[in-house]
Amino acid sequence: MNEFLNMGGYAIYVWPCYGLTAFCLIGLVVSARVSLRRARLNALQRIKSLELKNAPKA
């Protein structure tokens, strides 16, 4: 197990790459979820705006 973690002497290069990759992937997932939430809110606002504009006048 210790030899695996040491990566044959290259652990100082390998593990930071794994960490950076994980950080980037997590960042992309968070960014996509925030973007989706904003798009949904924008769509709901547009729908409400159109419904108010096209509502029959009493």
On whether residue 46 sits in a domain, the answer given is yes
Q: Which pLDDT belongs to residue 58? A: 65
On whether residue 28 sits in a domain, the answer given is yes
DSSP-assigned letter for residue 58: -
On whether residue 5 sits in a domain, the answer given is no
Question: How many structural domains comprise the chain?
Answer: 1
Q: Which pLDDT belongs to residue 56? A: 83
Cα–Cα dist 25/41, whole Å? 25
Cα–Cα dist 38/1, whole Å? 45
Kindly tell me the sign of the dihedral angle through the C-alpha atoms of 34, 36, 38, 44.
negative
Q: Which pLDDT belongs to residue 22? A: 98
pTM for this structure? 0.73
On whether residue 3 sits in a domain, the answer given is no
On whether residue 57 sits in a domain, the answer given is yes
Tell me the per-residue pLDDT of 1-58, one tens digit each, with 9 for 90 and over.
888 889 889 999 999 999 999 999 999 999 999 999 999 999 999 999 999 888 887 6
On whether residue 45 sits in a domain, the answer given is yes
Q: Which pLDDT belongs to residue 54? A: 86
On whether residue 7 sits in a domain, the answer given is no
Range of the domain at 37: 18-58
On whether residue 25 sits in a domain, the answer given is yes
